Amino acid sequence: MKNVYSFYIWLTLFVTIVITTAFKANYNAFPEKIEWSTHFNAKPDDYSPYAALTATTWQYSYITKIRDNQLNIDFKFVGGVDPDKSWVKRNRIKNKEISNQLLNHEQGHVYINFLLLKEGELRIRNQNYTINNYKKLIQLTANKISKQYSDMQSRYDNETKHGSDLVAQRQWDDYLKKQLDSYEK
C-alpha cells in the first residue's frame, strides 16, 4: 500500500510538470469545471484503492533575447487537466450525491493546480534575472513552487480523506474559494 501511495505522489508530481494546454495563465483565466464525461477518459487503475484520479499539469516555457547586454524574457504558462490520464471507477459511484461529492473533491485538485499556475506565473515572471543567473533561477523557482503545490495536493487528499471527510472537504472548499477569489480582483 505504501508503494502504491508513493507511486501516486511521484506520478502526481510528474504529471503536474507535464504539458497540457487546458487553460492558459492570464489574469482573466479561471479554472475549468470538470465533468465525468469529458475529463475522465483514461482506463481506471484497478490496483488503486481510490475511486478517481485527476491528472493535472502545468508547464512554463520562455524565450530569451539578449541585446546590448540587456536580458528580455518572454514567458508562457499553461496548465490544466489531462483527460487521457484522469480516470474514474464508475462502479464505485452508487448515487448522484456520492457522484457530486467525489466530483467536487476532484474539482479541488483542479483548483489547487490553478493556484500553482497563477503563483508560478507571478513568482517566475517577477524575479530579477541576470544574463548569468536566469536559467538556474527560473528552474529553482519552478521546482520550489511545484513541490509546494504537490505537497498541497497530498495534504488536501490526506485531510479530506480523499473527499470522504465532508467537514474537512468543506473547509478546503472555503479555503480554495478564498484563494481563487484573490485572483479575480
Give the cell for residue 28.
482573466
Pairing of strands 52-53, 87-88: antiparallel
Is 11's pLDDT higher than 50?
Answer: no
Distances (CA, A) of 151 to 26, 44, 116, 156: 24, 24, 11, 8
- Region of 173 (left: φ > 0; alpha: ψ -120 to 50; beta: rest) is alpha
What kind and span of H or E run contains 63?
strand 56-67
The domains of the chain are located at 2-181
Is 43's pLDDT higher than 60?
Answer: yes
Q: What is the mean pLDDT of residues 42-54?
A: 97
- First-to-last CA distance in the chain? 43
Predicted local distance difference test score (pLDDT) of residue 1 = 54
Characterize 161-181 residue by residue with b for buried, 16 or more Cβ atoms within 10 angstroms of its Cβ, and e for exposed: ebbeeeeebeebbeebeeeee
Distances (CA, A) of 19 to 14, 16, 87: 10, 8, 18
Predicted local distance difference test score (pLDDT) of residue 27 = 40
Task: Check the CA dihedral 106-110-113-115 and report its sign.
Answer: negative
- What is the rounded CA–CA span in Å between residue 125 and residue 172? 28
3 — pLDDT class (breaks 50, 70, 90): low
Predicted local distance difference test score (pLDDT) of residue 135 = 96
Spatial CA neighbour of 127 closest among 135, 11, 177, 18? 135
Is 21's pLDDT higher than 60?
Answer: no
